[in-house]
Amino acid sequence: MYYCTMYSKELLKGTLQPIILSMLSETNKMYGYEIFTKVKERSDGKIILKDGSLYPVLQKMSKDGVLQFEEVHIGKRVRKYYFLTAKGSEVKRDYLQELKDFLETINELVYKSAVSV
Amino acid sequence: MYYCTMYSKELLKGTLQPIILSMLSETNKMYGYEIFTKVKERSDGKIILKDGSLYPVLQKMSKDGVLQFEEVHIGKRVRKYYFLTAKGSEVKRDYLQELKDFLETINELVYKSAVSV
DNA sequence: TATTAATACATCAATACATGATGTATTAAA
DNA sequence: TTTAATACATCATGTATTGATGTATTAATA
């Protein structure tokens, strides 16, 4: 898994969990590498999740009761299929609402101001 | 200067400099507290810059040659009026372009996906 | 008039997310 | 056969922002 980042790392901060929650609410079961691939494709290669970020956060979200997973053996390889818990669905709704509001606010503030007098 | 934050602190990461650059490109000269006030008003109280973030970053941006300032004495109080340098205008253009692209990408990824088959 | 809020700056240790480096191992492709 | 892709993992490091704390002036309010 190799990559070059499109955006300054700081901009991505706080968006990782919402992104994962969003992906998992569309496709009810996904494993880490699948999420990585999906996000990469959907963003036209602009958002490349780092495995050093992705796998730890999936573990954290499981620990927080937001996700659950089941291990599936594919040949000799193991996949962990993650899915939203009931709590996860709630958290998803809240996080996505907050993110949406944030995007709109920043957009308004930075690009839509300075109305001529 | 007291405050309550609307967004999880992480979401704001990477947006502070673009916000400041944007504000300063509209109003050519502003002092720290004025930027604080303007951002607060423009965002309907949703983005409250912290003085622990604002003043250090203004110093950093000056050190980086992005901003310059002049001190103005108002009675016994001192104000530092900041303004964009030539380099600052370039940096502004780049940062705002990146941020805009980022906002669009996240929006597309998280809210506009899952087209029906 | 006394006290609180607002104005205006500052410093710095602590926080926390994400990164980058590094590792293991299987499977497919060149 | 060697490289790339698949699939997971750990952990020290970086760094932007925060929160706490500080000084001091000026305006408002009780």
Q: How confident is the model at residue B4 (pLDDT cuts 50, 70, 90)?
A: low
Q: What are chain B's domains?
A: 16-110 (1.10.10.10)
Span B93-111, pLDDT tens digits: 999 999 999 999 999 999 9
User: Cβ of B56: how many Cβ atoms within 10 Å?
Assistant: 11
Q: Do A13 and B13 count as a contact with CB atoms less than 8 A apart?
A: yes
- Write down the H helix ranges in B30-85: 32-42, 51-63
Round and report the angstrom distance from CA (B99) to C1' (C20). 24
The verdict on a CB contact (< 8 Å) between A100 and B109 is no
What pLDDT sits at residue A8?
83
Note the maximum CA span of chain B. Answer: 68
The shortest C-alpha distance from A3 to chain B (Å) reads 17
Provide mean pLDDT across the span B6-22. Answer: 94
Nearest protein residue to nucleotide D25, judged by CA and C1' positions: B77
Torsion of CA B92, B97, A57, B107, to 10 degrees: 140
Percent of chain A surpassing pLDDT 70: 91
Report chain A residues whose CB lies below 8 A from the CB of B15: 11, 106
* pLDDT mean over B16-34: 97
Residue B28 buriedness (CB in 10 A; 0-12 / 13-18 / 19+): exposed
> In this model, does residue A116 exceed pLDDT 70?
no
Q: Which of the two residues, A89 and B7, has the higher pLDDT score?
A: A89
- pLDDT at residue B101, as a whole number: 96
Going across the sheet that includes A67-74, the strands are A30-31, A77-84, A67-74
Yes or no, beta carbons of A14 and B8 under 8 Å apart: yes
By Cβ distance, the residue of A10, A101, A103 closest to B107 is A103
Cβ(B89)–Cβ(B65) below 8 Å: no
A56-70: per-residue pLDDT in tens?
999 999 999 999 999
Contact B10 A11 (CB under 8 A): no
Pairing assessment for the beta strands A77-84 and B30-31 based on DSSP bridges: unpaired
* CA-based nearest residue in chain B for residue A96: B110
